[in-house]
Each structure stands twice: as structure tokens, then as C-alpha cells.
Amino acid sequence: MQDRPDHLPSSYKTAIVMSVVCILCASGLLWWLTPLAVQSSFKLGAKPRPTEPPIHDYFAITDPKDSDSFTDRAMSRARVGDLKGALADFNEAIILNPKNARAYFGRAQVYVDQEKHKKAVEDFNLAVKYEPGNAEYWLARGRGISTAGGKREEVLVNYDKGIELDPKNPELYCARAYIRGLMLKTQGAIDDLNMAAQYDKKDAYIPFARGNEQLVLKNTDAAFKDFDLALALYPEYSAVLCARGRLHSELGDAKAAMRDFDRAVKVAPDDPWPRECRGMERERIGDKAGAAEDKKQQKILEAKEKAKEKRVKKKRYEFITNPQIYKFANDTLASAQKMFGAAKVPIKRLYIMYRTGNSCQTVMVDEKRGVFCICMANDETTDAYYHSLGHELVHLLNTRLADPYIEGICSWVGANSNPPPRRQFKVWTKQYDRGVTKLKFYKETYVMIQDLIANLKLDGIKDMLKYVRWDGDSKWWQQVDIDAWLKSLPEEKRIIARDIINKYADDIEKHLPDDGAYSFARPSDRGSYKKEWLHREAHDSPAHRENPKLLLPHEPGYVTPASLTKDHQAAQDAIKSVTADEDDEFETNTLPAQEPGKPMSAKTDLQQSTEQQPLPEPVSQPQSSR
């Protein structure tokens, strides 16, 4: 029998069903393989260009057309170490605007990093030519001429001009003092360092350099005073410890010298110079075995330094152009500012890069122009990419803030961020959580903030980042003023928050990164808030509301009544418990205010030999980064 047109045989039906199933499976597979497609696009360097930009300056970031945009991107590349990419962008910026002083200045700095000092001086000359009123350019040109082996008189002319333009800049005075010291104009160098100290009382390099100049004039008492001041500012400044130890040695105080050398070795175990100093002192006092051991360790450390220089791996850099990522960054940053307040420095332009390595980095490239850069250590195809990026985005709210509270908040926002629809998988969020909790410091800060939010709700901690102070004597890093924040909370929340922080404080302090940037301020006055809260609870009890004149157990004139309500009795017992059992716990162990933090670890770059070579020229401190 012939089949009718509207009746399909079973074999046809099976074929149609199988086709539909294949299509559905393919669609599902395609949905799951989307990240792989993104990976392919990323590796091929594809530049998706949406019909509508995800953020207002997206094309200026990913596909610049004007000189200033190329300069901003070049500065960002240079700031995170991509010198090749920075040089290419600076060249484009200069082609588009041959009078762009900022581009010449930036390119000159790249040449300095590449040790092309003559080219650097040529570009510094052009930067000064097109923007002669910028003191930073005169300072940089002076240093460039000095590094290139130019005449010291010419270097001084540049520093003089810089000081004329910016008479309160301590960096200029330090630079001029260094050159004056080389020219044996010792008193002039001391005068400059006095001026620098007047405008910057936190930089340990200034009294260190002045102490060395005092030694040239044989002013040993003044030198000791300056070395002591430098160590008060930066107790682990090994170069100062070595300089003071050598002075003790010259004056015949071997015990004091050995104390300083031992301490220098302890705080800088990978630096061969303290070993050399201690070895010479041990040899001088007849400790031949100790001197031989120090000399041996010195050679081992020097060999390690040379090997490390040879092992430096070439990093790969790539600018992120995926519009989906910039849209995520824009939305996440807007949400973070809504939760925790506006960024300290308005964010006018943000560059996102991929850089091979073990850690991500958030950098303030140009504070005046509001230019920032985030370097991601994982590319956009990895599972936890968006959560990691969410963490870094919160650092943009204050890139100078370096303490456990901001790290915990960053991790919490990262875990609760909202990736694009096709990247929202619970398993990926869990993978991010596992990654955070593998590192003890990040785990403890993350769990602490989770605990605070669970007990106080998000509204309870939303103002935390508004209470910020400079970290001791540091002029680069800030920390949350935890006591000020706690004081702003209602009494009930205040004690809850403080108890939570103290629960994690010991472990956080134990695993705090020792990089000179991070510090941790614990809550002070451990028991006062708890007593205040329990006092309020007792006064709010039903019995006390009925009889406001009723005295409490800790108040003068109290006589135990024959009968008390259950609520009032419980409140009284709580008061007794605090006054009797917890006074010692909360008062005798009260912590002092946070001690001044250490300056940036970058200061260790200045810890050079003061015997075999002149005191190093002061270097510019980088913009803050986290």
C-alpha cells in the first residue's frame, strides 16, 4: 500500500526525532563550550567591537585614536612592566601629537628601564621643551643626565630649576643633596636634607643620608642621632643598621657594632651586605670561625642574586578588549561604590590587562587624571576569572588602603559578584572560594568579613571604608580606622563586631604579609563596649522600666532585693559576670594603639653599601598599587 503524503513511516519518524535530539545536544554543547570559544578568541587576539560600547570610553581604551588615549594606555603598560607595549603606544602618541610632553616623558622612563640613557635624555629634553613648568620633568632630566654620565653642574641646574618651580618637594632636595655630596659640597647637602626633612617627616632615607654626610664632617654625635631617627621611622632598615654598626666599630664599641650587624642580618637575611659587615667585624675582634662563616654565606647570597637575574622569565602581556569584561567591570564597580561609597580618586579610565605570573595587581597609574590599571594573572577563560576580577575592582575604591579589612571586603565582593549569564556556575564560585581559602591570610580576612556581614548585615559594614587613616608614619599606605568605625555603630552591633574581629585577629596578625605595605589595627579598649552594652540591657529590662529608680548591682547604694523578676535577675547576673570574671580578660590585656607601620618595601632598594660605593641617589616612589 502506498503511503499517504500526511502519513510518515516509522523510519522517517525515527530520523526526525534523532535530528531534533542532535540539534538540542549540539545547542547544549555549544552553550557549555562558549568559554572555549572565548579562549580561542582571546588567544588569537580578536578584538570584538560591539555596536554600542559597554562603557563610555571603551573604544578609547581598547582602540585609541588620539594622542592622549595612547599616552594613558602606554603609561598603564609601563607601570605594570610591559615596556615593549608601552614603547609602541608612546611612539603612536608622539606621531599623533609631536608636542605631547607627557608622551616624551613616559618614553624616556621606558628608555631608562631599558638602560638606553642617551635616548632617555633626548626625550627628557623634549618633555622639558614642551612643558617647561613641570618640576617633575626637570627632576627626571637631572637624574637622566647623571645616569648617562653627564656633568654634575648640568645636573644641579636641572634640580635648581625644579626647586624653583616646586619649592616644597622633598624629592628634589634629596636629589640635589646627593649630587652635592658627590661634589664634596657637604654642608650644602646637609642643608638640602634639612629642607627635605621639613617637608617630609616620614621618609627614613632623609635622616640616613644626612647621617652619612655628618660623618664626612666628623660629626659622630649628629650621625648617631640621624641613624637613630631613621631606625625609629623604619626599624628594619638594614643599610642604616650596617652604617650605625660600622660607626660603633670605628669608635671601638664592638658589642654595639655586633648588635647592629646581627639585627641587620636578621631583618635582611637575603642581603649579602650585612653578612659582609658582620664578617669584617668578627675578623677584627678575632672571631675567625664566625668571620669565615659570614664570608661563605656572603658569597652564597651574591651567587643567588646573579642566578636570579639570569632566571628572570619574560612575561607575556596582553590588553583585554572583550566588551563583556569591561561591562562587568563597569557594573561591579558601580555596585561596589553604591555599597561602600565613592572611590577616593574618581576613576576616569580603567585598563585591564593579562600578565603571566602568580598574582593580580591593581595600580593607580595617574592620580591627577584618574587613570587605573588592573593586571590579571589568569586569562578570561579560567573558571574563577570574573570573581577574581571582582576582587581587584574593589581595590579601586582606595588603592592606598592595605589592610585585612579591605582584603576581606574585596574577597567577599568577588565571591558575590555577578558574572555574565553564560559564566554563572555555582561550581566556579566554589572554585573561587577554594582558591581564596588556600591562602591563610586571605582565608582569615574573607571569613572575618563573612562573619561580620552574617551578624551585622551588609548595612552594618557599608561605612567601614569611610573611616580611614594613614598607616602610622607611612606616607604611601592607609588602613581602616577600626576604632572610629566601631564607635559609629550602635552599642549592640559595636560589641558584636568587635568580638568577631578579635576572634580572627591573632591568626590574621600571624599571617600578615611582610611586604612593608600591610598592617592590621585591632580594636582597642577590649571590655568597655561589652560593659556598656550589658549595662544598657539591664536598664532596658522589664523590672527597670517599671521602676526607673531601681539600682543595679554595680551602682552605689545597691541592696539585694528579696525578689526580682527573672529578666532583671538575668541582667544582674550578666553585670556581675562582666565585673567579676571578665575584667581581667578585657582590661589587663588591653592592646595599645597600632604602632607606626613600616614604609614601603621599595625602600630596600636604597639599602646599598655605604663603604664600597657612595650613598645611592634617591629614587621616585611609585604610585600606590595593590
| Mean pLDDT value across the chain | 79
Look at the alpha carbons of 88, 89, 92, 98 in this order and tell me if their dihedral is positive or negative. Answer: negative
- Return d(Cα 498, Cα 164) in angstroms, integer: 51
Look at the alpha carbons of 371, 376, 379, 381 in this order and tell me if their dihedral is positive or negative. Answer: negative
CB 161 within 8 A of CB 174: no
The CA-atom distances, in angstroms, between 569 and each of 63, 244, 561, 565, 623 are 72, 64, 10, 6, 59
**The three grid cell numbers given for residue 472, joined into one nine-digit string:** 602610622
- Crossing angle of helices 135-147 and 101-113, rounded to 10°: 30
Nearest alpha-carbon partner for 393 in 379, 378, 377, 372 = 372
- Return d(Cα 385, Cα 432) in angstroms, integer: 8
pLDDT for 591 beyond 60:
no
Q: Across residues 573-592, what is the average pLDDT?
A: 34
Look at the alpha carbons of 418, 424, 55, 72 in this order and tell me if their dihedral is positive or negative. Answer: positive
User: Reduced to 3 states, what is the DSSP secondary structure of residue 169?
Assistant: coil
The arrangement of strands across the sheet holding 349-355 comes to 317-319, 349-355, 371-376, 361-366
Cβ burial of 459 (10 Å; 0-12, 13-18, 19+) is exposed
Question: Mean pLDDT lowest for which of 75-89, 296-310, 533-547?
Answer: 533-547
CB 138 within 8 A of CB 154: no
Q: What angle do CA 144, 148, 151 make, to 5 degrees?
A: 90
- Which range has the top average pLDDT, 284-288, 354-358, 425-429? 284-288
**The three grid cell numbers given for residue 469, joined into one nine-digit string:** 587613616
**The three grid cell numbers given for residue 550, joined into one nine-digit string:** 531601681
At 271-298, the pLDDT tens digits run 999 999 999 999 999 999 999 999 999 9
At 441-475, the pLDDT tens digits run 999 999 999 999 999 998 889 999 999 998 876 77
pLDDT number for residue 22 = 54
- Return d(Cα 139, Cα 163) in angstroms, integer: 9
- Measured in degrees and rounded to the nearest 5, phi and psi for residue 250 equal -65, -30
Nearest alpha-carbon partner for 136 in 172, 100, 82, 98 = 172
DSSP-derived pairing of the beta strands 371-376 and 349-355: parallel
- Measured in degrees and rounded to the nearest 5, phi and psi for residue 365 equal -80, -45
- Return d(Cα 617, Cα 174) in angstroms, integer: 8
Task: Indicate the residue type of 588.
Answer: T
**The three grid cell numbers given for residue 345, joined into one nine-digit string:** 580618586
At 185-203, the pLDDT tens digits run 999 999 999 999 999 998 9
